[in-house]
Amino acid sequence: MDTSSLDTPVPIVDWAVMKANIERLQGLCDKAGISNRPHIKTHKSVEIAKMQLAAGADGITCQTIGEAEVMADAGIKDILISYNILGARKSERLAALAQRTNLTVSADNRQVIETIGDAMETANSSLGVLIECETGNKRCGVGSSDDAVELAKHVDAKQNLEFRGLLIYPPRGDVEPTKQFLADAKTKFGKVGLECRVVSTGGTPNLPFIGQCGETEYRSGTSVYNDRMMIGFNVATPEDCALHVYSTVVSRPAPDRLILDAGSKALTSDLGGFETFGVLPDYPEARIVKLYEEHGIVDVSYCEKVPEIGEVVRVLPNHVCPVSNLFDEILCLEENGKLRPLRIDARGKTA
Ligand SMILES: Cc1ncc(COP(=O)(O)O)c(C=O)c1O
């Protein structure tokens, strides 16, 4: 690829690597006998969501109403929003969205259920609800199966809401508490006669354990591109990483320091548990030690070979999902070696 005419910083997605990642996730879900519901928060692209559906996914997951609106406008018919939607205005948007797509949301408290239930009734819409449960991630979610049953009953009592099941984002590397929670919940739901048709779990770091919790569907986001964190978690190799931010060396102010035009507005400030802000795969000893908004400060004191001023280098981000949210357009490196622009349709749809 000729990088000399690139307008950097710019993310470039190796299309063949991404396609292989999509196929791999689908293969894992098929092997486990469960539905694939990829999380589009990683790529935020209608085209890529449709490729995931064409590969066999049964629907998609979004994190915000804005993302879901973009995907529904593009004709995607089965969407889960894995987030508590709270407030009158958002509930109105949800009700409008539910009229044009098969929509499910997660909820972990009565206030959410009341507000969305009322909004659905007013708009004469209907909505599926998964009760979000917490099994160690210490984020949203009820912490006991008794609370899950109580909330499910509350959903069931609302005319325009349909209780569909449970949603969990299990802690990385430890699925045992999730397994136990779900086994316990199954018994309790059986006793009260409520059917838990969907058990939705997810997370790329837990893909090695796919199917082991008794889930019916899996939400993986990051696996579509992969990143430095996923390599660190041993669920991806450098060859599985589809997206790199291409950046130009704009200065070499000192022998041990060079400056990239990729700063926090291109790479994000997400350290993802590392000490540096991404890696340069072609200069592995170079260390991105500090970011300003448009400056990436690189310590090259350990490098045998140092990129020159004007050279375009690849940066593998620590965490790829927020990078997609920083660019209106990225480039796809197609199998014929050509670059084509791709609009990031749901970029900035944070609400
Ligand atoms: C609720 C939920 N499900 C699924 C995912 C996808 O996780 P990953 O990107 O690790 O695959 C996320 C990511 O933050 C999430 O918040």
pLDDT of 229-241, one tens digit each? 999 999 999 999 9
Q: Where are the domains of the chain?
A: 14-225, 238-319
Q: Which CA distances in Å does 98 have to 53, 54, 121, 155? A: 20, 23, 12, 16
Q: Tens of pLDDT along 290-339?
A: 999 999 999 999 999 999 999 999 999 999 999 999 999 999 999 999 99
Q: How long, in residues, is the chain? A: 351
Mean pLDDT of 189-210: 96
Q: Are 107 and 132 in contact (CB under 8 A)?
A: yes
Ligand 1 centroid, distance to 42 Cα (angstroms): 9
From CA 268, how far away is CA 261, in angstroms rounded?
Answer: 13
Give the global pTM. Answer: 0.97
- Give mean pLDDT, residues 191-214: 96
CATH code at 238-319: 2.40.37.20
Alpha-carbon distance values, 280 to 7, 219, 319 (Å): 18, 29, 14
Q: Which residues contact 49 (CB under 8 A, 6 or more apart)?
A: 38, 40, 43, 60, 71, 74, 76
Contact residues of ligand 1, CB 6 A cut-off: 39, 42, 82, 169, 202-205, 219-223
The answer to whether residue 128 scores a pLDDT higher than 90 is yes
Q: Mapping DSSP to helix (H, G, I), strand (E, B) and coil, where does residue 327 land?
A: coil
pLDDT of residue 4: 84
Two tokens, residue 124: 């004469």
pLDDT of residue 281: 98
**Distance from the CA of 162 to the center of ligand 1, in angstroms?**
24
Confidence of residue 170 (pLDDT cuts 50, 70, 90): very high
> Can you give the C-alpha Rg of the chain in angstroms?
22
Alpha carbon of 221 to ligand 1 centroid (Å): 6
Beta bridge partners of 331: 12, 341
Which residue type is seen at 312? V
The helix/strand/coil state of 107 is strand
Helix, strand or coil, per DSSP, at residue 200: strand
Instruction: Name the residue with the closest Cα to ligand 1, atom 7.
Output: 203
Q: What is the DSSP letter of 170?
A: P
- CA 338/CA 82 separation, integer angstroms: 36
Average pLDDT over residues 13-33: 98
49 pLDDT band, cuts 50/70/90, is very high
At 249-304, the pLDDT tens digits run 999 999 999 999 999 999 999 999 999 999 999 999 999 999 999 999 999 999 99
Residue 82 CA: which ligand 1 atom is closest?
1
Residue type, 189: F
Q: Which residues contact 288 (CB under 8 A, 6 or more apart)?
A: 260, 267, 276, 277, 278, 279, 280, 296, 297, 298, 315
CA of 307 to the centre of ligand 1 (A): 35
Q: Which of 327, 346, 335, 348 is nearest to 246 (CA)?
A: 327
pLDDT of residue 163: 98
Q: Which atom of ligand 1 lies closest to the CA of 83?
A: 1
Distance (Å, whole) CA 343 – CA 40: 14
Dihedral sign from CA coordinates of 66, 68, 69, 74: positive
**Across all residues in the chain, what is the average pLDDT?**
97
The DSSP 8-state label assigned to residue 193 in this structure reads: T
CB 313 within 8 A of CB 249: yes
User: Which atom of ligand 1 approaches the CA of 205 most closely?
Assistant: 10
- 223 Cα nearest atom in ligand 1: 11
Report the separation in Å between the CA atom of 44 and the middle of ligand 1, taken as the mean of its atom positions: 13
Q: Is the pLDDT confidence value at 349 over 90? A: yes
CA distance 200 to 178: 11
pLDDT band at residue 1 using 50, 70 and 90 as cut-offs:
confident
CATH topology of domain 14-225: TIM Barrel (3.20.20)
- Separation of CA 202 and ligand 1 centre (Å): 6
pLDDT band at 2 (very low <50, low <70, confident <90, very high): confident
Share of the chain above pLDDT 70, in %: 100
225 has pLDDT over 90: yes
